[in-house]
């Protein structure tokens, strides 16, 4: 077996037959960690983003409002989840927001939603893995300074897991997800128990003096309102991942829509409970978290310095509840880090499905439409991994920078998909006559209208609060991706129109009057003899071999060997005054087609095929250039005759190859293309001036 194929089989696994696709469907217990891990993991960094933003005002008391901001985020989540429960029932095919927008708002709007979701999925992987590495570094100090490398390695690991198949990835990732939920439940229960009994300690950061960030001193009422809105926009990262369930409906077991709706409800309940509980405990323990500790934190009246390292909210809360160096702290830190990495798996399931739908509609290359050997959209998985790894390396796995570009795409898709659902229900109501069905549709439309208003409001807040901090870059990326996919669609459409069959006969259906065959002879060897044998076997109307005279001595040796072997095919020598090997052949072939426009010109070229890929790096590229030019020449067909080196030599002896060329049937004398053994024709070749 080829070493590359062997390595692929070891890493990815044995190929699965197409009929086993149904066995890859996920029950709810596995679908929850696969499709809802992104939304569930956001509780690990959504509180951080809320506190980081409120801390810009310094000790102005805004940090105590963190739980109110969290409550606002929770309310929006309930509305969005209720809206998406309508989506999965109305569109269970897995197109998600893209299908809803395309069907109800038109393909251009749908393409915008697709571009927004692609950007969001890529950022999901980058943010989740980076956050996971940073949380793990709270307990594993050796990761400090190596976060980008560790994050890239984890993306590679997730790629391999997902290439092995959907069910395999669900099984592999279910344990970390449920372990994280268990560890967070333990933290919340113990922390709330200590709070109710009066035994909850203050966090070490509670004793730090918090200064306003530069430019935020003496905020007015309007400034406070803007900061609260910005905090709400930052905390809205908790809403990411909701759309992944709608995209993953086809991967669920039956009843698909009902299972998807149940997963949405469970996901929302868990996320809201943990987020509110974490923010309440963070307020009671006095946890402080700032963007620039050296500028905002004072310890005993002195700045903490640039080397100061602050842990995340969950890290500080675990240390306060369980104690420094405790097993509970280690458990929460490790489980949170692993969970944040696992959260990226949501994108690994949603992104390939989305790109396959876009490829099916002609907006992306067709390679993204095919499934790999483990029945996954492997090309989409690789594309996502490459883009996310590039972001991680460029931004050095810094969550505070990456997250500024985050969630713009998801709220663009939220808004447009819910608007599409409103139009969907309006269209259904025009034809529905059942009173009970109309009541249900009106109720669903009301939910989706509320979702439109809420999602649009949050999108505006995000753009106003974070445009200059990174949201603008997301919009630029979405616009560029939209334009690229529009160009790809235009290409596919133009090619489709070119090759489409018309209603009547056209030139492509006319049978050529004659077939004129040429065999390219750069040298006389076993591969060339095989090409000559194949060309003769097709019995063309005329046949000749062509070579280019670049080095006179080599050409003379070729002519002498041709005559000595008595090869019954005319050898035409093309002159090349500027020592070009490609142009004379092209000029001669084009002249033949121009002189005989109704004839077919077929060029046979031998190609030496070697098992080792390294050999290809050192072989002559002149034949490759000639092939490329011939493929672009109208009226000319190219036939490549492979010679597999030693493998072919074992099967066919050299004398047999020569005999296949020399042997002629009874009518050899009358066979078109035959010539006396010594027939060698010299012809002046074209060719532009070298250089």
Task: Indicate left, alpha or beta for 130 from its phi (over 0: left) and psi (-120 to 50: alpha).
Answer: alpha
For the chain, give the percent of residues with pLDDT over 90: 38
pLDDT at 137 over 60: yes
Average the pLDDT over 566-573 and give the result: 92
The closest alpha carbon to 413, from 646, 650, 99, belongs to 99
The answer to whether 449 and 442 are in contact (CB under 8 A) is no
Phi–psi pair at 406, nearest 5 degrees? -75, 160
Report residue 387 as tokens. Answer: 């883009």
Report residue 515 as tokens. Answer: 């077939």
User: What pLDDT, on a 0 to 100 scale, did the predictor assign at position 136?
Assistant: 73
Average the pLDDT over 448-470 and give the result: 86
The enclosing H or E element of 388 equals: helix 378-394
pLDDT at 468 over 60: yes
The enclosing H or E element of 682 equals: strand 680-683
Domains 26-486 and 510-683 share a fold: no
pLDDT tens digit sequence for 82-109: 998 988 988 887 668 999 999 999 999 9
DSSP labels, 169-229: HHHHHHHHHHHHHHHHHHHHHHHHHHHHHT-PPPPGGGGSEEPPPTT-TT--HHHHHHHHH
Say which residue the tokens 């709706």 belong to.
Answer: 261
- Calpha distance 298→219 (Å, rounded): 20
- Is the model more confident about 668 or about 583? 583
For the chain, give the percent of residues with pLDDT over 70: 85
- Calpha distance 139→337 (Å, rounded): 10
- Calpha distance 481→280 (Å, rounded): 41
Which span out of 243-247, 252-256, 363-367, 493-497 was modeled with the highest average pLDDT? 363-367
The answer to whether 318 and 332 are in contact (CB under 8 A) is yes
> Minimum mean pLDDT among 305-314, 524-533, 576-585: which range?
305-314
Report residue 575 as tokens. Answer: 């002159």
- Calpha distance 548→573 (Å, rounded): 6
Q: Is 51 helix (H, G, I), strand (E, B) or coil?
A: helix
User: What pLDDT, on a 0 to 100 scale, did the predictor assign at position 677?
Assistant: 42
User: What pLDDT, on a 0 to 100 scale, did the predictor assign at position 2?
Assistant: 56
- Calpha distance 542→671 (Å, rounded): 9
The enclosing H or E element of 465 equals: helix 435-466
User: What pLDDT, on a 0 to 100 scale, did the predictor assign at position 195?
Assistant: 94
User: What pLDDT, on a 0 to 100 scale, did the predictor assign at position 691?
Assistant: 32
pLDDT tens digit sequence for 328-356: 998 998 888 788 778 888 788 889 888 99
> Minimum mean pLDDT among 3-17, 107-121, 537-551: which range?
3-17
User: What pLDDT, on a 0 to 100 scale, did the predictor assign at position 676?
Assistant: 44
- Calpha distance 258→85 (Å, rounded): 9
Peptide bond into 635 cis (omega under 30): no
pLDDT at 124 over 60: yes
* 108 Cβ contact partners less than 8 Å away, ≥ 6 residues apart: none
Distance of CA 326 to the CA centre of its chain: 40
- Greatest alpha-carbon pair distance for the chain in Å reads 110
Provide the mean pLDDT of the chain.
83
Confidence of residue 24 (pLDDT cuts 50, 70, 90): low
Judge: domain 26-486, CATH 1.20.1740.10: yes
* 348 Cβ contact partners less than 8 Å away, ≥ 6 residues apart: 125, 158, 159, 162, 169, 381, 384, 385
User: What pLDDT, on a 0 to 100 scale, did the predictor assign at position 12?
Assistant: 66
pLDDT at 197 over 90: yes
Exposed, middle or buried: residue 438 (CB in 10 Å: 0-12, 13-18, 19+)? middle
Pairing of strands 209-210, 297-299: antiparallel
* 486 Cβ contact partners less than 8 Å away, ≥ 6 residues apart: 111, 363
DSSP labels, 341-372: HHHHHHHHHHHHHHHHHHHHTTSS-GGGGS--
The reported pTM is 0.75
The answer to whether 329 and 318 are in contact (CB under 8 A) is yes
Confidence of residue 11 (pLDDT cuts 50, 70, 90): low
- Calpha distance 74→62 (Å, rounded): 19
pLDDT at 236 over 70: yes
510-683 maps to which CATH number? 3.40.50
The closest alpha carbon to 349, from 80, 89, 164, belongs to 164
- Calpha distance 334→132 (Å, rounded): 9
SS3 for 221-257, per residue?
Answer: HHHHHHHHHHHHHHHHHHHCCHHHHHHCHHHECCCHH
User: What pLDDT, on a 0 to 100 scale, did the predictor assign at position 688?
Assistant: 40
pLDDT tens digit sequence for 375-414: 788 899 999 999 999 999 999 888 777 877 878 888 899 9
* 643 Cβ contact partners less than 8 Å away, ≥ 6 residues apart: 526, 527, 530, 606, 607, 608, 609
The closest alpha carbon to 576, from 671, 666, 682, belongs to 682
Average the pLDDT over 211-240 and give the result: 83
> Minimum mean pLDDT among 342-346, 584-588, 685-689: which range?
685-689
The closest alpha carbon to 284, from 202, 207, 210, 208, belongs to 202
Structural domain spans, the chain: 26-486, 510-683
pLDDT at 515 over 60: yes
Size of the chain in residues: 691
The closest alpha carbon to 97, from 114, 115, 77, belongs to 114
The closest alpha carbon to 529, from 353, 387, 659, 372, belongs to 659
* 641 Cβ contact partners less than 8 Å away, ≥ 6 residues apart: 527, 530, 531, 534, 604, 605, 606, 607
| Alpha-carbon distances of 71 from 18, 49, 76, 232, rounded to whole Å | 47, 14, 9, 10
């Amino acid at each position: 077996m080829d070493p590359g194929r062997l390595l692929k089989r070891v890493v990815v696994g044995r190929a699965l037959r197409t009929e086993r696709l149904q066995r890859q469907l996920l029950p709810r217990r596995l679908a929850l960690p696969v499709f809802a891990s992104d939304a569930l993991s956001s509780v690990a960094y959504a509180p951080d983003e809320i506190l980081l933003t409120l801390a810009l005002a310094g000790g102005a008391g805004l940090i105590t409002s963190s739980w109110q901001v969290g409550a606002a985020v929770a309310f929006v989540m309930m509305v969005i989840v209720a809206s998406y429960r309508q989506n999965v029932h109305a569109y269970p095919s897995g197109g998600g927001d893209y299908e809803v927008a395309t069907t109800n708002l038109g393909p251009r709007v749908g393409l915008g939603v697709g571009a927004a979701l692609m950007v969001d999925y890529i950022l999901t992987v980058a943010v989740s893995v980076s956050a996971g590495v940073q949380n793990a570094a709270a307990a594993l100090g050796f990761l400090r300074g190596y976060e980008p490398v560790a994050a890239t390695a984890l993306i590679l690991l997730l790629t391999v897991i997902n290439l092995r198949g959907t069910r395999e990835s669900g099984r592999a990732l279910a344990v970390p997800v449920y372990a994280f939920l268990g560890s967070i439940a333990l933290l919340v229960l113990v922390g709330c128990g200590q709070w109710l009994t009066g035994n909850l300690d203050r966090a070490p950061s509670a004793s730090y003096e918090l200064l306003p960030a530069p430019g935020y001193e003496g905020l007015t009422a309007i400034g406070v309102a803007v900061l609260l809105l910005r905090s709400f926009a930052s905390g809205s990262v908790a809403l990411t991942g909701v759309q992944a369930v709608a995209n993953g409906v086809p991967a669920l077991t039956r009843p698909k829509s009902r299972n998807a709706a149940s997963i949405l409800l469970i996901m929302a309940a868990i996320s809201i409970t943990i987020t509110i509980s974490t923010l309440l405990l963070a307020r009671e323990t006095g946890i402080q978290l700032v963007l620039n500790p050296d500028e905002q934190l004072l310890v005993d009246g002195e700045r903490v310095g640039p080397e100061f390292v602050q842990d995340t909210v969950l890290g500080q809360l675990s240390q306060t509840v369980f104690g420094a160096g405790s097993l509970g702290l280690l458990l929460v830190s490790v489980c949170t880090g692993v969970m944040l990495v696992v959260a990226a798996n949501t994108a690994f399931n949603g992104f390939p499905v989305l790109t396959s739908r876009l490829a099916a509609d002609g907006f992306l290359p067709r390679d993204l439409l095919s499934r790999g050997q483990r029945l996954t959209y492997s090309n989409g998985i690789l594309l996502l991994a490459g883009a996310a790894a590039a972001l991680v390396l460029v931004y050095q796995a810094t969550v505070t920078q990456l997250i500024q570009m985050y969630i713009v795409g998801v709220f663009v898709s939220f808004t447009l998909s819910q608007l599409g659902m409103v139009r969907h229900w309006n269209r259904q109501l025009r034809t529905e006559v059942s009173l009970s069905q109309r009541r249900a549709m009106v109720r669903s439309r009301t939910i989706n209208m509320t979702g439109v208003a809420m999602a649009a409001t949050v999108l505006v807040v995000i753009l106003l609060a974070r445009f200059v901090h990174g949201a603008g870059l997301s919009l630029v990326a979405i616009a560029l991706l939209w334009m690229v996919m529009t160009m790809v669609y235009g290409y596919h459409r133009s090619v489709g129109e070119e090759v489409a069959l018309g209603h009547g006969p056209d030139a492509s259906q006319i049978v050529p009057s004659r077939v004129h065959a040429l065999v390219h002879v750069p040298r006389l060897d076993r591969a060339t003899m095989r090409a000559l044998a194949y060309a003769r076997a097709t019995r063309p109307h005329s046949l000749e071999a062509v070579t280019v005279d670049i080095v006179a001595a080599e050409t003379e040796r070729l002519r002498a060997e041709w005559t000595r072997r008595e090869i019954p095919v005319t050898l035409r020598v093309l002159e090349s005054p500027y020592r070009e090997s490609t142009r004379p052949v092209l000029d001669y072939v084009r002249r033949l087609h121009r002189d005989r426009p109704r004839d077919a010109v077929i060029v046979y070229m031998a190609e030496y095929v070697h098992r080792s890929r390294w050999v290809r790096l050192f072989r002559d590229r002149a034949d490759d250039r000639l092939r490329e030019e011939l493929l672009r020449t109208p009226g000319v067909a190219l036939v490549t005759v492979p010679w597999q080196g030693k493998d072919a030599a074992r099967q066919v002896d050299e004398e047999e190859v020569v005999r296949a060329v020399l042997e002629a049937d009874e009518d050899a004398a009358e066979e078109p293309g035959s010539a006396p053994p010594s027939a060698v024709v010299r012809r002046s070749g074209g060719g532009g001036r070298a250089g």
